[in-house]
Amino acid sequence: MTKNKQLYWHYAASLCLLLFAAIAYFVKSNEAILAGIDNPIIHLIRGNLTDGKTAFFTYITKFANTITIILLTGVAFLFLYKYKEKIAAFWLLINAALIQGLGNTLLKLFFNRPRPSVEHLVSAGGTSFPSGHSMGSMLFYGTFIFLMPKFIQNKRLCLAIQILLGLLILGIGTSRIYVGVHYPTDVLGGFLMGAAWLLFSYPYFKKYDFKQQFEGK
Read off the pTM. Answer: 0.93
pLDDT-flagged residues of the chain (< 50): none
Question: Residue 194 in contact with residue 136, Cβ under 8 Å?
Answer: yes
129: left (phi over 0), alpha (psi -120 to 50) or beta: beta
Q: What is the pLDDT of residue 149?
A: 94
Q: What is the reported pLDDT for 83? A: 87
Report the alpha-carbon distance of residue 69 to residue 172 in Å, rounded. Answer: 13
Amino acid at 167: L
* Amino acid letter, residue 145: I
CB 187 within 8 A of CB 197: no
Q: What is the pLDDT of residue 4?
A: 75
Instruction: For 140-164, write each residue's pLDDT tens digit.
Output: 999 999 999 999 999 999 999 999 9
Kindly state the greatest CA–CA separation across the chain.
57
- Cα Rg for the chain, rounded, in angstroms? 18
- State the pLDDT at residue 209: 82
Sequence-ordered list of residues with C-beta below 8 angstroms from that of 171, at least 6 positions apart, any chain: 57, 60
Query: Could you tell me the CA-to-CA distances from 178 to 48, 89, 113, 120, 174 in Å, in that order?
Result: 10, 33, 18, 9, 6
